[in-house]
Amino acid sequence: MTRCSIVPPHVLAALARSDRPGPALVAARTLAIDASLRHERLPAGPRPTIAPPVRQEVAGPQRTIHDARGGEELPGEVVRVEGGPATGDPAADEAHDGLGLTWQLWAQEYGRDSLDGAGMPLVATVHYAEQYDNAFWNGEQMVFGDGDGETFGRFTASLDVIGHELAHGVTEHTAGLVYRGQPGALNEHVSDVFGVLVKQRHLDQSADEADWLIGAELLLPAVQGSALRSMAAPGTAYDDPRLGRDPQPAHMDDFVRTSDDNGGVHINSGIPNKAFHLVATTIGGPAWQAPGLIWRDVLLGEISADCDFATFADLTLAAATDRYGRDSAEAAAVADAWRQVGVTTAGEGGAPIPSREQPEPVDGAADAALRLTRTGGVAGLTRTRELTLGELPEPDARAFRSLIEGPQLPRLADEAPPRPDAFCYGLSCERPELDVQVAEAALPQATRRLFERTLRREG
């Protein structure tokens, strides 16, 4: 299981290289913490039998909220339990309510008792680390940062973010989608879908009434943007000097090939996101009903961990046909949506993946010897620095020389698979040849701090 966080690495990376010292430092520290957590691999749970698509009577949620009080020890001090009174702390109470509303969607609409289908307790920690710019599911519990106070506010404020992260837990216990490339983008897509459905159901919004934004409540007024992502209009969520421009495509013609962000999982998820939006608005009414049921059937059905976009499109069409009939409006809406985003054509099979490369996140010197990146996080921001060893203080230059010449980084990369929405560091150079991506959690503390201060330091 890969660790899932809501801020994409390209967002945090852009913020970390911004000219705002405070938020830049916080973003760099967030990336470093995320990388240090990414190596933990949890055993996959057994695939459950598909729950009946009816409102099945199940027991209520079992929620426990902890407070890390700015530290990094999990889970922290218990501050609220199931049935207990509100604490008066907005973060703790928002987490408690968000866990409950997410449980309600899965139990009352989809007949699934918690993330594993067997009543798994829902645990969350708030006030994690100092000014932590992220929220994530670590395979056992939810973790929420408070944000830096300038770019991001507290991460419990966004209900769809809570629903997004908990949906990673459902995926872990069902499809187990590999967190890289197209399967990883589908992993992110599924979480975006059920995240917005939690919010839309709570607000009793139809597909036409909903804003289809992910993380709108996280961005503070100084940011030029509306949210982390827009399912209705991928690529338009933000355009900010610190965060950069939203890189999500809405069509396969603009599919991004990149080694960052585990192959662009937070970027290319815009394509299936747009497809779901088209399905929901074409069918009309509450999106958690017919569209959500179709996607639920796929997630809990015969889907492989390495599923690609075209296969996923076929599975959703089959699910719509099985549930509503071959000639139904629902099946027609699904088929047309995947055609509109270029995943399928009028004929059989999926569209080929174009070869457009992602633009470099920053302009680096042409003779740069090293390229250091930090990707991941729920916002999907990328932070990049190109440099030569001669630009660094001698102790740091020696440390980098040891890393690029030794076996440590490739070994760590092999041992620690990525986690959804967690941070990942990349280091590449031409001589000696190296191009490696390492989960933050796998890095020794000294190496993590080396990468953090190098990204933070102006070139």
Average pLDDT over residues 238-254: 96
Examine the pLDDT at 40 and tell me if it is beyond 50. Answer: no
447 part of a folded domain: no
Split into its structural domains, the chain has a count of 1
**DSSP SS3 for 279:** helix
Q: Categorize the per-residue pLDDT at 58 as very low, low, confident or very high, splitting at 50, 70 and 90.
A: low
- pLDDT value for 3: 62
- pLDDT value for 383: 84
239 part of a folded domain: yes
| Cα 115 from Cα 28, distance rounded (Å) | 31
CATH code at 324? 1.10.390.10
Q: Categorize the per-residue pLDDT at 52 as very low, low, confident or very high, splitting at 50, 70 and 90.
A: very low
Q: Categorize the per-residue pLDDT at 4 as very low, low, confident or very high, splitting at 50, 70 and 90.
A: low
Q: Categorize the per-residue pLDDT at 458 as very low, low, confident or very high, splitting at 50, 70 and 90.
A: low
The reply to whether 165 belongs to the active site is yes
Place of tokens 């921001």: 381
Examine the pLDDT at 397 and tell me if it is beyond 90. Answer: no
The reply to whether 66 belongs to the active site is no
pLDDT tens digits for range 171-188: 999 999 999 999 999 999
Candidate list 40, 94, 109, 165, residue with the active-site label: 165
200 part of a folded domain: yes
116 part of a folded domain: yes
- pLDDT value for 11: 84
Average pLDDT over residues 309-329: 97
Examine the pLDDT at 66 and tell me if it is beyond 60. Answer: yes
Examine the pLDDT at 24 and tell me if it is beyond 90. Answer: no
pTM over cut 0.85: no
Examine the pLDDT at 360 and tell me if it is beyond 90. Answer: no
347 part of a folded domain: no
pLDDT tens digits for range 97-117: 999 999 999 999 999 999 999
Q: Is the dihedral of CA 52, 106, 319, 334 positive or negative?
A: positive
DSSP at 393: -
- Output 37 or 182, whichever has higher pLDDT: 182
- pLDDT value for 274: 99
H or E element at residue 349: none
427 part of a folded domain: no
Average pLDDT over residues 145-167: 97
Please check whether residue 131 is in contact with residue 148, taking contact to mean a CB–CB distance below 8 angstroms.
yes
136 part of a folded domain: yes
Average pLDDT over residues 215-223: 97
Candidate list 266, 277, 386, 391, residue with the active-site label: 266
Q: Categorize the per-residue pLDDT at 449 as very low, low, confident or very high, splitting at 50, 70 and 90.
A: confident
Partners of 107 in beta bridges: none
208 part of a folded domain: yes
Domain extent for 36: 4-340
Examine the pLDDT at 313 and tell me if it is beyond 90. Answer: yes
- pLDDT value for 2: 55
3-state helix, strand and coil shares in percent for the chain, rounded to the nearest 5:
40, 15, 45
